[in-house]
Structure 1
């Protein structure tokens, strides 16, 4: 168990399927960054969207992490058990006029140019059949990534009043992830580059809540030769729980590391120890997407 609580990182998969190589890259990168800082590494299950979840996937993900030697600190947090906290914050914003009900459809927003123009901001729409949006009065137009430096956020995206609870009653990712990171004391978010876009909104939530912002490190995405992200939606194959060492070594190489070939003969703990001792942000690929070469 880690003793230095100054650094707290996390891996937060959604249980929509088993872990694939892209998931392993995100898990390993966040784990090695935490280990290199003598920090804690948490696991949170982002089970916010039941229609997209696969039965048994949450347990399978945890068993896979254990098979790969990626042991987490503390207990696993499940977003499905955090609804009261999300709703309480929304109620507070609604009461103070910081959030409002919106009945605009996706089609209407698409016809308006693709970004929500604030149609319902002052209309006092009824709660029934409405989404809830947060008023964005102080847009976050850029952030500094630990590897990629200053990343600009398009003005239209930065200024958009975004959804914090969907019309179907499900809570939005941006709201949940920030409230959970605050609750767990996370100090740095290490995740895939597919989540660069919502980072500005999440920083805005920290500021609105008067909380200390975390730092961000976005790891390169694993993409196929035709440019598609390796993902559960694209039917990426599950990583093998019975033979973790080759995939661990491949993930290290993907992250710009150069593990010696004879490391494959070591046990998993020694492989991960080598990874922690040799982890350097400067070695990460410059690109936010890397084509798989195997």
Structure 2
């Protein structure tokens, strides 16, 4: 499912109009914390995608709109974690539609950020930026001070920061990511802290400030280890490998990339595994080990074609 870009100005006008016509609803929480917890517990008890899909259909049919929205959010997350971005986008977009229809800001913002993230993973950055910006705009006017509402602020800023980073706008990326980091630190979210440290490290790496990049990547590894995040630890190994590769310490680079890939080997998250496969191909190319390079490239190409990842395919073909 593809949604055409609205343009940031028109998107903001939509938000302003909705807020103006429903300020009373906006100043109150649509559902109590207890109701949200019940819906979340019910949805997360579903073991797999099939059972979760059936549950969502039943909840929607029974008129449990909150349960339906939560189910769509979690279901979309599972599709994205398995690199099925088309179904993730379709599912998250339906959740956005339902959350917007009842003007539930908490789920509305989460859905906006999820759709934005889906578009980012698909490499469609202009539309992704609009959704994250809409999410951030809603965060700034809501009166909700719950953990999830504050977390939404960090996710919006992190999404924007990632886009600015990809586009090479390092000044704006640094500003957004540091604001997100402060929010994550206030919440005590180690995974969120780790993500923002890693992104800030990437800014330093792109600027050629390698010593600072090492510092922030190590901060990220420490936070990921505290959070026991396998994905985060694997990604940090890839960041370390990148710095070693730039220093032409290819043996150490290969060791780091391989350590990250082994942690991800059994994961269905093909998108993140692709980064490591391409990195392994790159370092073997640098050492002129053509056999190993082609082996990793062939595997990467197969995975990228399976999830229709054009951005990674371009790197692989290059």
TM-score, structure 2 length as denominator? 0.23
Q: TM-score, normalised by structure 1?
A: 0.24
Which of 1 and 2 has higher RCO (CA within 8 Å, sep 6+)? 1
More helix by share: 2
